[in-house]
Structure 1
Amino acid sequence: MKLDHPLIAERAVARHCQELLGSGPGIAELVPALSLIGERLTRALAAGLARLSGGRAPVVSIGMPMDTTLGAIQAELDTLAMHSLLALGPDGHPALATFAAAPVFRLVDRAFGGKGEVPDPLPDAFPLSAELLLGRIEATLAEALGTALGGAQPLRVVPCRRETSLRQLDPFAMNADLLQLAIEVEEEGAAPWSLTIAFPIATLAAVATVPRHRARGPRRDGPADPAAEPYASLPLSVSAVVIDMRLDFARVAALSAGDVIPVAIARAVPLRVGGRTVATGTVGEVEDRVAIQIGHAF
């Protein structure tokens, strides 16, 4: 394995030594831990990108962690991409950030006053302008990830090396178990762009705080407290039903571009979790974004 960063090089032997690592937490324990890290990363990255561009903070969203391998990541990439090796913490635990070519060229075009157009066909290599922009985004991502992992005392995250070839970068074994976060960034007036971060299980076990279950105490009667663990950290999909209308089949079948359908927005917009209404509120606006003010919670 080729490792240029001294922190990673010093750790290379210990990372593969089970006697030193111990059993550690498994994927089932690391998935919720990484979900919490992802939530903190959305806030830190949005603030960092706002400082980078000097504008309004973008909307950053992160999907649920997905298990994968380096081989699977390589198989999914059919065009040019840039891969960045990150060293996490004082021991330099590796992580991998991947930037697909199309979003990078879109950002470069916008940086030079364009509309965010992507060259067709894509070139075989990134120009210097793209390399420079990637370096700035990479540094912003490293800082945000350090904040997400360390909280009040950010973890040191260092960008080590970038390559367009995963085989040349050789960040970790091709069949190593990884957990991957997909990140999407939406900026006003521009198409969204995305990147991914992949963490080996050994890296997450070393840098993530995994909640441990407390020993069982006396049984308590009454309902569980939703604000207490393990329930408080569970992610829930919340939907706001702004419009709920009925159209007959003939009307739907006849719809075409340019048709206007009059709709009425209810005064009390229901918020639903799992198909069940948990609250109602009114539609408004906060900082140029649509918002709902809760009027009644069940």
Structure 2
Amino acid sequence: MAAPDSSRGHAARSPARPPAHPPAHHCSELLGTGPSTADLVPAFSLIGERLTRALAVGLARLSGGEAPLVRAAMPVAATLATVEAGIAGLAAHTLMGMGVSGLPLLAIFEAAPVFRLVDRAFGGPGEVPDPLPESFPLSAELLLAHIETCVAEALSFALDGQGGEEHRVRPLRRDVSLRQLDPFPAHADLLTLSLDIEEPGLSAWSLTLALPTTTLAAATTTPRHGPPRRRRFVHPGPAEEPFASMPLEVTAVLVDMRLGMARLSNLRPGEILPVAVARSVPLQIGGRTLASGTIGEIDDRVAVQVTHAF
């Protein structure tokens, strides 16, 4: 008798399926997500501290006077719309680019401080026209170009500290209309930094920097490919910033004489004291002799020709 066919009366069985795998979860380090806006605030604050020192030196070199006091406020989160809403009236907006790829950042100069600086540059007390004009005159445009260069150099130092090309900042273009300038997408997350500049005996003025978080992240984070680049600190020399523009008072000692107390107490207006100018005139800073030279004349002015430097 033939064996019964066991396949009869049974449905065909489908091949077994492998068990489903749970969805993959990757950490932020693998995904390469950038730091959040809150994470970038402390980094931007540190950059702001370095920026105040570098900007003070640059502005002193620009004006030829004492270094002003520059203060940086805490960074504030913003968007292009909130930045535009905070500007009242005429202002100059300068788009700058960082590094070879030209990552964008924005510098904002309101009209009143600019006109005050222009008036002072021409010997005035720093008056502001009332009402403000609808555009900047050529004199203000030229001054803005100098201030932009000063801010860009200070930012390059603050972002890198060694003048590296990857963090070098350059002014690109300027416009009084923020919409026409169109520096970055309207929805981009920004961090703004306000800088207050105070000079002795003069009215304080301010400027604002706005950086997209993508630009700030590129300036403050280390690329994940390859080991982190070690920075070798190089002590700047006297011919380099921030020392190059530091004003120092140099004293040329033409006469060094001694008088007795009795003679000194009897001095009267009109009395003549015979003095002899030394052949070698010492040049001193803070009482310390750094060089010596001889007295001469150039362009109807008394001059010292340095003959020996220590």
TM-score by structure 2 length? 0.60
169, 181, 187: which one aligns with 2:199: 187
27, 32, 35: which one aligns with 2:42: 32
Count of aligned pairs: 190
What is aligned with 1:115?
125
Distance (whole Å) between structure 2 residues aligned to residue 153 and residue 77 of structure 1: 32
What is aligned with 1:244?
none
Q: Give, as a single letter, the amino acid of the residue that structure 1 aligns with 2:148.
A: E
151, 165, 186: which one aligns with 2:161: 151
Residues 70 and 178 in structure 1, CA contact (< 8 A), matched pair in contact too = yes
- Answering whether residue 213 of structure 2 is matched by residue 201 of structure 1, we say yes
Q: Give, as a single letter, the amino acid of the residue that structure 2 aligns with 1:115.
A: P
- Answering whether residue 94 of structure 2 is matched by residue 78 of structure 1, we say no
- CA-CA distance at 1:153 after TM superposition: 3.3
What is aligned with 2:230?
none
Q: Give, as a single letter, the amino acid of the residue that structure 2 aligns with 1:60.
A: V
Distance (whole Å) between structure 2 residues aligned to residue 185 and residue 126 of structure 1: 21
86, 100, 111: which one aligns with 1:90: 100
Distance (whole Å) between structure 1 residues aligned to residue 185 and residue 86 of structure 2: 17
Distance (whole Å) between structure 2 residues aligned to residue 185 and residue 77 of structure 1: 18
SS at match of 1:140: helix
Tell me the alpha carbon deviations over residues 66-102 of structure 1, each in whole angstroms, 9 at most, x when there is no partner. 0011111111112000000000112211000000000
Where do 5+ consecutive residues of structure 1 fail to align? 1-20, 211-298
110, 124, 140: which one aligns with 1:100: 110
- Answering whether residue 173 of structure 2 is matched by residue 161 of structure 1, we say yes
Runs of 4+ in 1 over 6 A off after TM superposition: none
- CA-CA distance at 1:206 after TM superposition: 0.6
What is aligned with 1:60?
70
- CA-CA distance at 1:188 after TM superposition: 1.0
Distance (whole Å) between structure 1 residues aligned to residue 184 and residue 163 of structure 2: 27
Q: Percent identity?
A: 63
SS at match of 1:122: coil
Residues 89 and 207 in structure 1, CA contact (< 8 A), matched pair in contact too = no
SS at match of 2:107: strand
Distance (whole Å) between structure 1 residues aligned to residue 183 and residue 202 of structure 2: 32
The 5-angstrom pairing of residues 139-288 of structure 1 reads: 139-154=149-164, 155-209=167-221
48, 51, 64: which one aligns with 1:41: 51
> Whose relative contact order is higher, 1 or 2, with alpha carbons under 8 Å and at least 6 apart?
1
What is aligned with 1:125?
135
SS at match of 2:170: strand
Q: Give, as a single letter, the amino acid of the residue that structure 1 aligns with 2:183.
A: P
Distance (whole Å) between structure 2 residues aligned to residue 191 and residue 209 of structure 1: 38
- CA-CA distance at 1:209 after TM superposition: 4.2
Distance (whole Å) between structure 1 residues aligned to residue 61 and residue 209 of structure 2: 21
- CA-CA distance at 1:157 after TM superposition: 0.6
Where do 5+ consecutive residues of structure 2 fail to align? 1-30, 223-310
- CA-CA distance at 1:53 after TM superposition: 0.7
Q: How much is the aligned-residue C-alpha RMSD, in angstroms?
A: 1.3
Q: Give, as a single letter, the amino acid of the residue that structure 1 aligns with 2:112.
A: A
